Amino acid sequence: MKVTKAQAQANRAHVVETASTLFRERGYDGVGVADLMGAAGFTHGGFYKHFRSKTDLMAESAACGIAQTAALSAGMNESEFVRLYLAREHRDSRATGCTMAALGGDAARQPEAVRATFADGIERLLEALRHERCSSDGADSAQARANCLDILAHAVGAIVMSRACPDDSPLADEILTVCRDKILASLGPSATGREPAPNHGSDKSAKPK
């Protein structure tokens, strides 16, 4: 029975989503085309009906995974993003977590097409975070971008380091806790949940001693 164009597109999207999950879980070198297609429910030979090479699929699946993270981040303020990103649940959910943290190291060794996808993905995540900062406090665009880049790099690096430790290692949790607290502290008292200390010196109603 001939596959319709709509069904072919749906099959392709399913392969991309399956690849996005498997690559995050096992790394690019840990997943072969045959295993990937089997996991998606298709034959090995069907791969080349949709993709020219594994590299093409790597790039497209990375874009898919990063888009998921960007969509989840949209509407969050920075402190919300940091608390969700630097949580143990995210650290332990490699297959469904941020593609940048799961595959950034692998991407550095891949062809330019894959690295270009990651560069575009970084821009998408920065835009999602920067938009919230500029909308909330009217921050200068260039400064907001710099601050968001610092937060994103810090958060991604923390996840990578934590995952490099054994799952039951106290260091794995320490890295998340220290980095999360440091980033939140840099965002100000409202991000940490602490109220700023009263400045009695500027209180005009205070009586001089």
Nearest Cα to 73, choosing from 131, 149, 137?
131
Quick one: average pLDDT of 157-178? 98
Give the domains, in start order, of the chain with CATH numbers: 55-191 (1.10.357.10)
- If you write DSSP's letter for every residue of 57-93 in order, what string do you get? HHHHHHHHHHHHHHHHHTT--HHHHHHHHTSHHHHH-
pLDDT above 60 (res 207): no
Quick one: average pLDDT of 81-108? 96
In percent, the amount of the chain with pLDDT more than 70 equals 85
Quick one: average pLDDT of 194-202? 47
Predicted local confidence at residue 203, as pLDDT = 46
- Those residues whose C-beta lies under 8 Å from the C-beta of residue 179, and which sit 6 or more positions away, are 86, 154, 155, 157, 158
Binned at pLDDT 50, 70 and 90, residue 106 comes out as: very high
pLDDT above 80 (res 49): yes
Joined together, the tokens standing for residue 94 give: 């490699």
Give the ranges where the chain is alpha helix by DSSP (H): 5-26, 33-40, 54-73, 78-85, 88-92, 99-107, 112-137, 141-164, 170-187, 189-192
Which pTM value belongs to this model? 0.84
Is 94:25 a contact under the CB 8 Å cutoff? yes
Binned at pLDDT 50, 70 and 90, residue 75 comes out as: confident
Is 151:129 a contact under the CB 8 Å cutoff? yes
pLDDT above 70 (res 68): yes
**Neighbour-count burial of 165, counting CB atoms closer than 10 A to its CB (0-12 exposed, 13-18 middle, 19+ buried):** middle
Pick the more confident residue, 116 or 202: 116
Binned at pLDDT 50, 70 and 90, residue 200 comes out as: very low
Joined together, the tokens standing for residue 159 give: 């996840």
What phi, psi does 59 have (nearest 5°)? -65, -45
Binned at pLDDT 50, 70 and 90, residue 204 comes out as: very low
Residues 163, 165: Cα–Cα separation, whole Å: 5
Predicted local confidence at residue 73, as pLDDT = 86
